[in-house]
Amino acid sequence: MRIVIAEDDALLREGLALLLRAEGLDVVATAGDPDAFLAAVDRYGPDVAIVDVRMPPTHADEGIVAAVEARRRRPELAVLVLSAYVEQMFATELLAGGARGLGYLLKERVGRVEEFLAALHRVAAGGTAIDPDVVAQLFARTRPDSRLERLSPRERDVLALMAEGLGNVAIAERLFVSEGAVHKHIRSIFHKLDMAPDDRSDRRVAAVLRYLDGRERAR
Amino acid sequence: MEATQIRRLAGEARGSTGRALRDLVGGLGTAALALGVLLWLALVAAAGLIGIGLALVPSAARALHAVADLERARLSRRGAEVLSPGPPPGRWRAVLTDPATRRELRWLIRHATAGLLLGVLGIQLPVWAVRDGTFALWWRLIPEGGRTPGLGLWTVHDWPGVVTVSLLGVCWAVLTVGLSPALARWQAAPGRRLLAPGPGTDLSLRIAELTATRAAALDAHATELRRIERSLHDGTQNRLVATTVLLGAARRMLTRDPAEAEVLLERAQSAAEQALAELRAVARGILPPVLADRGLAGALSGLAAACAVPCRIEVDVPGRCAAAVEATAYFVVAEALTNIAKHSGATRAEVAVRGSDTMLRLRITDDGRGGADEARGSGLVGIRRRIGALDGGLTVTSPPGGPTTLEVELPCGS
């Protein structure tokens, strides 16, 4: 897996590179600003880009813009966006073109190395990684939703992990249940929420997020 | 104890006399202008009697408002703000009945006469004090007929006469110290009374102005909040994230390669220490604790004492300004002194802070090599940003070879 890191904070950039290299991953280039990042993507043709949202010159959403541009130039590039705080708008913007090979995580998740590496590998393999906080925010919107109310607590757990981008096996591991049980929960969820079942996880994530996000829009 | 008290009293007297003399000189300037305008108005009135003056009324009114505005600005600079009653009416008929214009006219007459005399007297007193006080040194150098005291009442022929003149000089000096503040007050009084909006003036313009400044203040507040948010997110938080990243990496390394894990832990610790340092810097940037404890003067003296270059601080601020203004003033001086110590090669620096109810002015000077350039990423950029956030102004004068002067204006209060 060939990785490019775009992060303007030098200490964090080097820390990330050090961590990934220690795990035997191939960090081919690091960049401190959007232009250098895009140049590195063009030059090295990486598989995955890890991109900070806030980058020079204005430290607003230059990272998101650069990530979208990198995807336009190299559609097969997987992008994992790191953010200082959860901003629903960034997630929505990023996922506008589908959830395939995309991740949006809070920066501090990197410290939980195993989970971070799992997310990185998932994204690199065309999957999705959405930060639990983003999912929690989507759930926390208080408008009573009769359909969500119908879900059992366990089904809500499964829905949340699905929204994060986890596959059936990973969900089963996380909840200490069998894969068959997860499968059953998922079928039940899709039925209760009136959604077409889909086994491919990225499409599934997109559908779940759309559902949760759409709930917000309809308000 | 007594000696220090006397010294303090002497210092205060010198300060108040100096201020009063500056006020009197400024007042004399506007009084001279007022006299000019008064003569012009008299001319226009006389021309009005024979019919051709009416066309000149608007221009005469404009001149009146202009000199009145000058005086308002001067009085506002030197003390409590004198509000403008708003723009004068445009048509000449309205001009003649406008109450604000009538008040300005009454002020003009007083200021052009009594104000002028007070100004002249106020300046004459110290001149006589110096002249007569030093009479003994030079009275022999001038021709006999000219050997008179400042008032020129009698001619001096011998030493007892010289002593009398010297004593007269001392009297003038005492009068200068004793009377100048009162003279300045009397000179300013008609302006303070008559140039402010009279009772019943329409204050809608003033309200609009206040709304605008309030909006600007809120803007400045937002800018300040953004700056703080940014330094927390892009500085402190990044250090903490780096800490967790390094800790995570160290944990993974612990079984594989303990020596390498140790190195990572060391780096994690130093990243956490950096986070702490930045957090302290952010907190200090929001409101330096020393400001709350010591006030602006005390806090700035602390800065001067800590500065590598010998630094003299002079603070003349009545009461306290808004916390944000004081914090910015403190930050600006701290940055400027750091710059001076690092880049200027100066041997001494001077900081002067003067405040009125509406404006805090800083002046930071050094005798260094000059050539400070904002484009080359010095601390000046940060200084300008901080000042801009409060809608203030910064003027940098730094010719190659020096000296460098920073002049800062920070609106405060209202």
Residues B102 and B181 in one domain: yes
CATH number at residue B394: 3.30.565.10
What phi and psi, each to the nearest 5 degrees, are found at residue B375?
-65, -25
Residue B214 has pLDDT above 60, yes or no: yes
B391 assigned to some structural domain: yes
Quote the pLDDT of residue A158.
92
- Residues B11 and B5: their CA atoms lie apart, in Å, by 10
Residue B339 has pLDDT above 50, yes or no: yes
Domain A2-130 -> CATH class = alpha beta
Tell me whether residues B238 and A12 touch, CB distance under 8 A.
yes
Model confidence at B378, in pLDDT bands (50, 70, 90)?
low
Domain ranges of chain A: 2-130, 141-217
- Nearest C-alpha neighbor of B282 from the set B238, B227, B332, B328: B227
Q: What is the dihedral of CA B279, B282, B287, B292, to 10 degrees?
A: 30
Q: Which of B230, B247, B260 sits opposite A111 (nearest CB)?
A: B247
**Full-model pTM:** 0.59
The string of pLDDT tens digits covering residues B100-149 is: 888 888 999 999 999 999 999 999 999 988 888 888 888 778 887 777 77
Quote the pLDDT of residue B352.
93
- Mean pLDDT computed over every residue of chain A: 87
Residue B72 has pLDDT above 70, yes or no: yes
Residues B43 and B152 in one domain: yes
Of A81-85, B86-90, B178-182, B405-409, give the lowest mean pLDDT range: B86-90
Residues B295 and B265 in one domain: no
- Residues B236 and B286: their CA atoms lie apart, in Å, by 14
Q: Which of A8, A16, A59 sits opposite B245 (nearest CB)?
A: A16
CB atoms under 10 Å from CB of A167, counted, come to 22
More confident residue, B278 or A93: B278
Q: Contact, B402 vs B343, CB < 8 A?
A: no
Residues B361 and B256 in one domain: no
Indicate the number of domains in chain B: 3
Residues B92 and B129 in one domain: yes
Quote the pLDDT of residue A180.
93
Residues B212 and B350 in one domain: no
Q: DSSP letter for B231, please.
A: I
B303 assigned to some structural domain: yes
The string of pLDDT tens digits covering residues A9-33 is: 999 999 999 999 989 999 999 999 9
Tell me whether residues A19 and B245 touch, CB distance under 8 A.
yes
- Nearest C-alpha neighbor of A105 from the set A89, A119, A125: A119
Q: Report residue B360 as tokens.
A: 């805090």
Distance from CA of A147 to the nearest CA of B (A): 38
- Residues A20 and A152: their CA atoms lie apart, in Å, by 39
Residues B179 and B53 in one domain: yes
Of B269, B286, B303, which closes a domain? B286
Model confidence at A218, in pLDDT bands (50, 70, 90)?
very low
Q: What is the third-level CATH fold of A141-217?
A: Arc Repressor Mutant, subunit A (1.10.10)
Residue A145 has pLDDT above 70, yes or no: no
Residue B414 has pLDDT above 60, yes or no: no
Question: For B244, how many CA atoms within 13 A lie in the half-sphere containing its CB?
Answer: 15
- Partners of A5 in the β-ladder: A30, A50
CB within 8 Å of chain A, chain B residues 273-292 = 274
Quote the pLDDT of residue B1.
53
- Partners of A2 in the β-ladder: A26
Q: Contact, B360 vs B410, CB < 8 A?
A: yes
- Mean pLDDT computed over every residue of chain B: 84
